[in-house]
Chain A
Amino acid sequence: MALLELQNVNTYYGAIHALKGIDLAVNKGEIVTLIGSNGAGKSTTLKTVSGLLSPKEGQVTFDGQRIDGTPAYKITEMGIAHVPEGRKIFPRLTVLENLEMGAFTISDPAVRQRNLERVYTLFPRLQERVHQKGGTLSGGEQQMLAIGRALMMSPKLLMLDEPSMGLAPLLVEQIFAIIRQLNEDGVTILLVEQNALMALEVAHRGYVIQTGTIALHDSAAALRENKSVREAYLGEL
């Protein structure tokens, strides 16, 4: 059974019908990517899952439970970590305080400590800057902090929104390597990317979203070979 399942999800921004019946599933242990152009509804899909938006129609199931309409903080407690677009770290909290905020739902100090060590192993840079204010970090460090902060809550599902945005190519490589490693450690990942090439390389399966509907879904390998995907998203003519 799928860990996360969206069935006929319809979400509105005021009068704007942003998601028009999205069906999507993420199985345990998978990396699934959601690709599409600007404004297609990628971030909206993630926000609908994490509870920042609630769908007007359709249902979202996580771990066998209906979660649509549940407030965001409760969904986080259930094990979904959402790394929002633009990283959204807390600029006036230190790196350590940012990471502590990630573990807000974890009451066991031993677990918190273990998660913190894991984050430091993954991102040694963060340990170096532990008392620095989040807002003073570079873009790449902020992305690491945002992912690290999400890992602090021991998520069953990690949702990443454009983790490569605005980063230098070398850093992008690094981030994707970490995504792969996290998955190997057993974290299920839903990845939203504009950089479709990279995303389809790490992912097992992919969905293509167009103006609020799923246009295509297939294995990542098949999507990489798909002619229309190549034309539209991989920059080939």
Chain B
Amino acid sequence: MSGIKNWLAGTLQDPRRAPIFAGALVALTSLFQVLAPFNSLAFLLVIVSMLVVGKAATSKWVKLGLAVLVTLVVIPVAGRQNGALTYLCVQMFINIALALGLNLVVGFAGLLDLGYIAFFAGGAYVYSMFGSRQALEFMPESLQHLFPLGGWWFWAAIPIAIFVAAFLGLTLGLPVLRLRGDYLAIVTLGFGEIIAVLAKNLDHPINLTNGAGGIVGITPPSLFGYKLDTTLSFYFIGIVLAILTALAMYRLERSRTGRAWAAMREDEVAARAMGINLTKYKLMAFMAGAAFAGAMGMLFAVKQNFVSPDSFSFLESIGILAMVILGGLGSLEGAVVGAVAVTVLKLLILKDLADFLSMTVKLPPAFNIPQYQPLIFGLILIVMMIYRQQGLLPGRRPTEDIAQLETRTPKKNTTGKSVGA
């Protein structure tokens, strides 16, 4: 066993053997996936091969090429026969973006947000309310002919959803600024619940959300007259949004703001002493984190073609937290890997395990495995906290040596004024 491990490690570090090995591995698993689109094991192997590629000592162009091959060719081809696979991947991209967004708030800025799903709900509801016949319930009659909005509005609604979610982030952020970490966590939890209660009850006096029944028939996006209502089109929108989120996170982490967050996370008192305006940076963290969730909420709404308060429960917030914790707080790779792992676990492994068990040993209905998400999320949180607080892929804090910093002396703020005070 250790022989295989050593050989694998050696191969991955060898710049000549690594690309060949990685390419061969991806080719093999991809072939398997395309030939057996319904095989869950094949999909798991594809994911594992992508992880191996990530670890291989090879140029980023090779890695990128392989990633493009898998995401743009292999999955769509396999997905043509197995729609569930594409659907799973859409949810995976949504979760990746959500985990990255929550990682910004918790991992970068150190603010434990237990109501993160509220922002996701905000985005989902904003588009669903106007992009479905629900709008006829509450818009004045003179404007009703405009609704439901046409599919091209989806693109215009993205900035609106981002704005609404960021505004929600602001309304949450403002009151909780002075609170210490654990109190803040409880208040965000309360905030999430308030949003859920509102979604459930705002069907009267004016029917905004249609209450517990939820909103159905949400206009899918359209582009140049083409209706993008297939899972595959959501898949591509998902990839684009997830990549944009990841790029934004990468830039944010290395920005002046990112460094201010890091300082705040490590020691609020010291950060304040260094002239970091805590109010401003806490609000920015809440708003930025919320914004990404808002955009993904829209994609979620059109993918499901249905939104209801049930999709935005506390458990969902904890699910995203579990992704971030599993991967490693503050780590971008960690958030992505955590999101992939939890999504696959939730939507693939648990289902398959349940099917397998129900065929082999007749389990009583009490042991309906896919229902045990809370148990699994709970265990993930406990076990990770006790045994591996830094997560599976701990963040490599961007390190900068002094020489590098000196060549980048800031142009502004040379007068010694505090940062953004």
Direct contact of A and B (CB under 8 A): no
| Chain A residues within 8 Å of B, Cβ to Cβ | none
| Chain B residues within 8 Å of A, Cβ to Cβ | none
